[in-house]
Amino acid sequence: MSAGALRVTGLTVGYGRRAVASDLTLPPLEPGEVVALVGPNAAGKSTILKALAGLTPARGDIRLGAADLQALSRGKRAELVGFMPQTLPSSSDLTVLEGMMAALRAVPGEGGALEERALAALESLDAGPLALKTFAELSGGERQLASVAQSVARQPRLLLLDEPTSALDLARQHQVMALARSYAREGRVVVAVLHDLALAALWADRMVVLSAGRAHAVGQPDEALTPDILAEVYGVVARVERCSRGRLQVIVDGLAGPRGVTG
Ligand SMILES: Nc1ncnc2c1ncn2[C@@H]1O[C@H](COP(=O)(O)OP(=O)(O)OP(=O)(O)O)[C@@H](O)[C@H]1O
């Protein structure tokens, strides 16, 4: 199975008259890739993800393989694109399994065996025991795991994850990113918003460094994470070092101020 590349050309999205991103064009994001979308707070990461998912109005061209996503009905787009939001439900009386089944049923064209698919997605995150708990009973990290499982159970060709690891412990972060990678390797495109740059560097094939709605850098982690880029985009003085097994680590020495390192 192959989704075809995600092509974003001239994307403009915002709220009211305020554009968060204007005329954003990205290089094709290929099937098989995990792409990390990183950048400072309020850079526009969530807004762009929502625009890709068709959840907020946007102008521009968004294609997945041959499909023109902007021209598709909401239902058809939902068949191709899965979105895990940054803010997770906390008060639902539905069990996790019921919520997942309802989400699967809401997508036109979903095949059968919905319960099996929902349970398999939970199991793939070693989270089977969450199935019969209500969302209200879950811890923050459990809610996030359930939400990741829900988005994966749909098996969309383009999977958009908004901060899927922010509430998770180290082992769970690893599990979620490993799942994202194996999911991508089956021929899908995965775009994940991440704040943890070391985690992003470890798991992403490419990174898009967003700054004020612009793609400041796009490339493999060692191309996208340089001290200069970190200073320009985050305003920090940082070192990027290779640790064991060649992994990148970002060490922040302070804020970049007019007189050099501060803090
Ligand atoms: N519903 C909304 N209505 C109006 N403005 C919004 C709305 N949601 C976000 N914004 C604004 O759009 C800009 C981009 O927000 P967005 O959530 O996309 O940033 P982000 O990069 O995901 O940030 P963070 O890392 O803090 O989650 C911010 O200035 C924010 O205040």
What is the pLDDT, as a whole number, of residue 65? Answer: 96
pLDDT above 70: percentage of residues in the chain: 95
Ligand 1 atom closest to Cα of residue 48: 18
pTM here? 0.95
> 3-class DSSP state for residue 137?
helix
Residue 261 pLDDT: 60
Nearest CA, atom 26, ligand 1: 41
How far apart are the C-alpha atoms of 28 and 26, rounded to whole Å? 6
Q: Are 201 and 247 in contact (CB under 8 A)?
A: yes
Using an 8 Å Cβ cutoff, are 127 and 171 in contact? Answer: no
Q: Which atom of ligand 1 is nearest to the CA of 193?
A: 22
Residue range 137-166: average pLDDT? 95
Give the residue whose CA is nearest to atom 8 of ligand 1.
Answer: 47
At 47, give phi and psi (nearest 5°).
-65, -40
Mean of pLDDT values over 149-154: 93
- Can you list the pairs that 109-113 forms with residues at least 24 positions away whose Cβ atoms lie under 8 Å? 109/75, 109/79, 110/79, 110/154
pLDDT grade for 1, boundaries at 50, 70 and 90:
low
On the 0-12 / 13-18 / 19+ scale of CB atoms within 10 A, 153 is buried
CA–centroid distance, residue 47 to ligand 1 (Å): 6
Neighbours of 75 (CB within 10 A): 11
What ipTM did this prediction achieve? 0.99
Closest residue by CA, ligand 1 atom 28 = 42
Residues shown for the chain: 263
Q: Which residue among 37, 38, 45, 160 is best mutated to probe the pocket of ligand 1, counting the most ligand atoms within 8 A of its Cβ?
A: 45
Distance of CA 218 to the CA centre of its chain: 16
Residue nearest to atom 23 of ligand 1 (CA): 42
Give yes or no for residue 30 having a pLDDT over 80.
Answer: yes
Give the tens place of pLDDT for each residue, 52-82: 999 999 999 999 999 999 999 988 998 999 9
The residue whose C-alpha atom lies closest to atom 13 belonging to ligand 1 is 42
pLDDT for the residue numbered 86: 84
**Ligand 1: lining residues by beta carbon, under 6 Å:** 15, 20, 39, 41-47
3-state secondary structure 159-217: EEEECCCCCCCHHHHHHHHHHHHHHHHCCCEEEEECCCHHHHHHHCCEEEEEECCEEEE
Share of the chain above pLDDT 90, in %: 83
